[in-house]
Amino acid sequence: MKIIMVKLLSIIDPYKMAVKQLRNAVELLGYDKSVFEILSKPQRVLEVNIPVRMDDGSVIVFTGYRVQHNNALGPYKGGVRYHPNVTRNEVIALSMWMTWKCSVTGLPYGGGKGGVIVDPRRLSIRELEELSRGYIRAIAPIIGPEKDIPAPDVYTDPQIMAWFMDEFSKLKGYNVPAVVTAKPEELWGSKGRIYSTGLGVAIIAREAARKIGIDISNARVVVQGYGNVGFFTAKFLHDVGAKIIAVSDSKGGVYDPKGLDPEKVMEFKRKTGSVIKYPGASTITNEEILLLETDILVPAAIEGVITLDNAASIKAKIIVEGANGPTTPEADKILFKKGVKVVPDILANAGGVIVSYFEWVQNLQGHVWSEEEVKERLERHIEHAFHRVWLKAERDSIDLRTAAYLVAVERVVKAMKLRGWI
């Protein structure tokens, strides 16, 4: 029997980025070193090995993680990603960002995150199911509706959440729908969850545009990353009249100054595997797409794409971060000096976790909200969070990321103090 250990290294270290952002907030808030020491480290890191019998009879052992950063405000909450470049430090950083995301949006959650080092596109459906069930069995002792509630992330979806929920329920001996969110609607999933992150990004883009005097119905928009978040962001902005002039996926992008139809581009991608070579549009690289002249740029792919090397060449007026950690701290400083408004990930892409919270509430109550009710609640919730951060930035003459971190970190620290942790 052939056994292979799968463990890959990541080129960048998002944890260092997350720590820099936290240190800046802690210093500006005037907290002592102990606060930074507590918040810069997760409360728990679980590493698991998941053996999967492959279709050819071999066994591959996949490495997975579940990181629980801080639960001062409530149960840990955060997605699980399947990606060949997952690392321990990446998952720690993502769990930290989830703490701030839940805090800045006023949710009763702390931050958690999970990941498995795998390229799921290379697995059969049976292999993917076995991996998913094995992962949830491995982390089952530390999750649950009152402990830690996973959700989808990169290359995971409602079907995988269904397997998670079912496997956890088997272990408990009864149905536990509230253990994960973003499930299929037939298995207690919330209406609207599938597009909630993209809708939230679109709402934030609209509000940011309004703040600086741009009419969203005439705005030019560039979207780097055309997965779930990028597509739905483009779709909802297109629906209100915005012109989507460029989109890209991992293979490259397409550009048309006259505007693209997001749904037709997605249909083309599903047929061909990529947006490149979309009829009537020019081909563009993922590096070039970031530098296009546009009103709104939505980086919705991976972390670390806007850096010290390209920030000075950014021509967008507003950057709305659909991805987690797409802008480095060094780039932030350059963009702020240029007058570019950067709406940070912990606020901009919070629509998914907000509707996940709605799903969790519905599951706990045994109730179902209408799609319209979910959308209305999401809009109110994320608008309130955005205007609170914008006001903080204006009052203190700081960038939006710093403002968001100050709001988020202060709420967590207040909770820790009230609980007697510090």
**Confidence bin at 5 (pLDDT 50/70/90):** very low
**Confidence bin at 154 (pLDDT 50/70/90):** confident
Secondary structure class of 168 (helix, strand, coil): helix
Question: The tokens of 246 are what?
Answer: 């460029």
Distance between CA 249 and CA 380 in Å, rounded?
A: 31
Distance between CA 342 and CA 390 in Å, rounded?
A: 11
pLDDT of residue 171: 98
Segment 229-251, tens digit of pLDDT: 999 999 999 999 999 999 999 89
304 has a pLDDT exceeding 70:
yes
33 has a pLDDT exceeding 60:
yes
**Confidence bin at 12 (pLDDT 50/70/90):** low
Q: What is the DSSP letter of 88?
A: H
pLDDT of residue 259: 94
If phi > 0 it is left, if psi is from -120 to 50 it is alpha, else beta; for residue 328 that is beta
pLDDT of residue 28: 95
Distance between CA 361 and CA 188 in Å, rounded?
A: 11
The answer to whether the CB of 26 falls within 8 A of the CB of 35 is: yes
β-strands 59-70, 110-117: how paired? antiparallel
The answer to whether the CB of 178 falls within 8 A of the CB of 360 is: yes
Q: Helices 371-396 and 351-365 sit at what angle, rounded to 10 degrees? A: 130
N- to C-terminal Cα distance for the chain?
52
9 has a pLDDT exceeding 70:
no
Residues comprising the chain, all counted: 422
**Confidence bin at 7 (pLDDT 50/70/90):** very low
β-strands 252-260, 243-249: how paired? antiparallel
Segment 155-201, tens digit of pLDDT: 999 999 999 999 999 999 999 999 999 999 999 999 998 899 999 99
pLDDT of residue 339: 93
Domains and CATH numbers, the chain: 3-10+42-179 (3.40.50.10860), 196-348 (3.40.50.720)
Catalytic residue numbers?
113
412 has a pLDDT exceeding 90:
yes
The answer to whether the CB of 353 falls within 8 A of the CB of 372 is: no
Q: What's the mean per-residue pLDDT of the chain?
A: 94
Segment 89-103, tens digit of pLDDT: 999 999 999 999 999
Rounded-to-5 percentages of helix, strand, coil across the chain: 50, 20, 30
Segment 333-386, tens digit of pLDDT: 999 999 999 999 999 999 999 999 999 999 999 999 999 999 999 999 999 999
127 has a pLDDT exceeding 90:
yes
For the segment 40-48, the average pLDDT, to the nearest whole number, is 98
pLDDT of residue 141: 98
Q: How many CB atoms lie within 10 A of CB 375?
A: 18
β-strands 220-224, 296-299: how paired? parallel
For the segment 278-301, the average pLDDT, to the nearest whole number, is 93
